[in-house]
Structure 1
């Protein structure tokens, strides 16, 4: 571990940090071990003093809730070059409570100090992927767009949106870097701020239409100033067949996006000769609301906080063998827990 920067307590004592900076860790700081917990560094010093740092062990990682596995690629990047054997589920695999997700064979000194780091990678990515998949499943084939970047620290927003797309199944992401990392272009329309500044939804829609390339979908918010159905018809008529969709983001103060509103909007658009104009819903969506609004006629969904701030998916790593001997702390079963779904990944 010495080549990574932090390997002893003296390395921590000698670490100088400029506090006049963004607090988020750089990639280099993560790889050097500067974001791990101090007690793992103390453990290295203690085991090294006893000549036990390179003891061969087997460790297993699990979580107490079922979900969708993600974050493995970052863990492998962190541990590459450490002479380890690692077995794991594939990213995107569904798993059960307490199922072994990752098994690591190697000397404790080669991976133990970074436990905080890779458990954090797995916990965050698995939680995001699980929440995204729940929304995608609820939509039953209709597109789900992830735009949760505003709800998390910008240092992790690209990780979240990439995972939501590549593992969780979302069709698009709004965060520029997140979408690019997922191999696609970012997706999204203009916010209420643009319409408020323009002073009229139709005025902004015409500016939108005249400014952006012809390949860009004409998707316009219709809940800023007037009744949503009235605004949608005004915009559809003004764009003369070029409107691809309208987005409903009605705030809770006005009742939010309801099935009744969606049904009325769909009816009025169809009757006015605009059946091709799709309806996009956003604003505090979760799987239950997605199902209800989908049945009412929503064609796609923009999901933010449900994906970006999901139910925690705590990861635990247990030592299960030491020098070939089965072992475990009280309350856990000693020895390797069989899981035939694990595949060697390193």
Structure 2
């Protein structure tokens, strides 16, 4: 048993982290000698946003490695809409049915975080956004959180277990400041001993008024930015606080000192304060994002289209049309002229064909955000 109540990789890979009804029905189907050839699609009929960002494919491929199935999926970082299949799996049902729980867990959770990150980044405009939320989730999934947030477009992450290739950011907690006699002593020590490539971003609301501590930090001469992490219980009118801090910094000749805001920041906060703030540290709004409520449903059995009530039968393809519109069509239908199919092969007979690329996934999201900003 794991020391920290964590399901180990091998248990997940064997399909033993599953809902009990899958295991029980697999046993019954085996006794009946039934193992039909099926195609199942991953879709959602609703989500908290107008569009989602597909994420978690890398883990899904690793889960199904060696399982005799064919898989097509949208590339990671793809934008998807309700009812669009983001993945389809073809194989004998008993060969992969028990993996549904883990598969959906990978896709639902990662896509929820990536989607929230993209919408937060869109709200921020030209301001930087950093993922500060791994402490709001189980540490076993910290890497997944940061990877998904990075794909979703954040400019950096805070957790030291983040995958290689992304900026890991952060300077000091309130506890560090409180380990010194005064905030000035703490800031000076941080500047003296931190590596040169670490930003001189000073936390300025530990003991005193925000504008007073920010001004003291700026007057030390080495501060590139000040960070406010004021608890909501003490904020009052946060915009008024930010305006006051900005005024005092500017009026004392510190126009070059930026403001970094963290602490319970929401997408609505970002919209409200982005004209005053240079960067945001976002925690729960990304890490605790609602999952995308994907389901995995049979759409074809032994070559015949069928589906349960409320689902669309038949194997489908999603096409991106010239001009940006999208359409869902049966795979046998003629594709519209100039249309680009979005679901592509990722596995054949249980073997990956190609690989998921985190940098390309992130680039897809950033390209979509740039296009939306131009059309706004």
Q: Secondary structure at the match of 1:177?
A: coil
In the alignment, what sits opposite 1:316?
Answer: 295
2:38 equivalent to 1:57: yes
- The one-character-per-residue Cα deviations of 1:58-84 (angstroms, maximum 9, x if unpaired) are 000111224111111110111022232
In the alignment, what sits opposite 1:331?
Answer: 310
Instruction: Confirm or deny: 8 A CA contact 1:250 1:256 kept in the other structure.
Output: no
In the alignment, what sits opposite 2:3?
Answer: 21
The alpha-carbon deviation at position 281 of structure 1 amounts to 0.4
> Whose relative contact order is higher, 1 or 2, with alpha carbons under 8 Å and at least 6 apart?
2
Provide TM-score, normalisation by structure 1: 0.89
2:21 equivalent to 1:39: yes
In the alignment, what sits opposite 2:346?
Answer: 345
2:55 equivalent to 1:70: yes
Q: Secondary structure at the match of 1:334?
A: coil
Distance 2:140 2:237 in 1: 31
- The one-character-per-residue Cα deviations of 1:94-116 (angstroms, maximum 9, x if unpaired) are 21112111111112133211000
In the alignment, what sits opposite 2:75?
Answer: 90
Instruction: Confirm or deny: 8 A CA contact 1:251 1:283 kept in the other structure.
Output: yes
Q: How many residues align?
A: 321
- The one-character-per-residue Cα deviations of 1:274-298 (angstroms, maximum 9, x if unpaired) are 2221110011111111011102x10
Distance 1:253 1:321 in 2: 55
The alpha-carbon deviation at position 257 of structure 1 amounts to 7.0
Instruction: Confirm or deny: 8 A CA contact 2:113 2:291 kept in the other structure.
Output: no
Distance 1:330 1:225 in 2: 60
Structure 2 gap ranges (5+) = 320-341, 348-376
Instruction: Confirm or deny: 8 A CA contact 1:40 1:112 kept in the other structure.
Output: yes
In the alignment, what sits opposite 1:284?
Answer: 264
Q: Secondary structure at the match of 1:183?
A: coil
Provide TM-score, normalisation by structure 2: 0.82
2:107 equivalent to 1:122: yes
Structure 1 gap ranges (5+) = 1-17
Instruction: Confirm or deny: 8 A CA contact 2:155 2:167 kept in the other structure.
Output: no
Distance 1:325 1:155 in 2: 42
2:159 equivalent to 1:175: yes
The alpha-carbon deviation at position 209 of structure 1 amounts to 0.7
2:226 equivalent to 1:246: yes
Q: Secondary structure at the match of 1:156?
A: helix
Instruction: Confirm or deny: 8 A CA contact 1:152 1:308 kept in the other structure.
Output: yes
The alpha-carbon deviation at position 311 of structure 1 amounts to 2.1
Q: Matches of residues 157-236 of structure 1 in structure 2 within 5 Å? A: 157-165=142-150, 167-178=151-162, 181-236=163-218
- The one-character-per-residue Cα deviations of 1:215-237 (angstroms, maximum 9, x if unpaired) are 21111110111111111111122
The alpha-carbon deviation at position 182 of structure 1 amounts to 4.8
Q: Secondary structure at the match of 2:5?
A: coil
In the alignment, what sits opposite 1:105?
Answer: 90
Distance 2:68 2:126 in 1: 43
In the alignment, what sits opposite 2:361?
Answer: none
The alpha-carbon deviation at position 185 of structure 1 amounts to 4.3
Instruction: Confirm or deny: 8 A CA contact 1:248 1:257 kept in the other structure.
Output: no
Q: Secondary structure at the match of 1:106?
A: strand
The alpha-carbon deviation at position 25 of structure 1 amounts to 1.3
The alpha-carbon deviation at position 271 of structure 1 amounts to 2.3
Q: Secondary structure at the match of 1:155?
A: helix
Selected match of 1:272 from 252, 266, 271:
252
Instruction: Confirm or deny: 8 A CA contact 2:317 2:343 kept in the other structure.
Output: no
Instruction: Confirm or deny: 8 A CA contact 2:171 2:198 kept in the other structure.
Output: no
The alpha-carbon deviation at position 310 of structure 1 amounts to 1.2
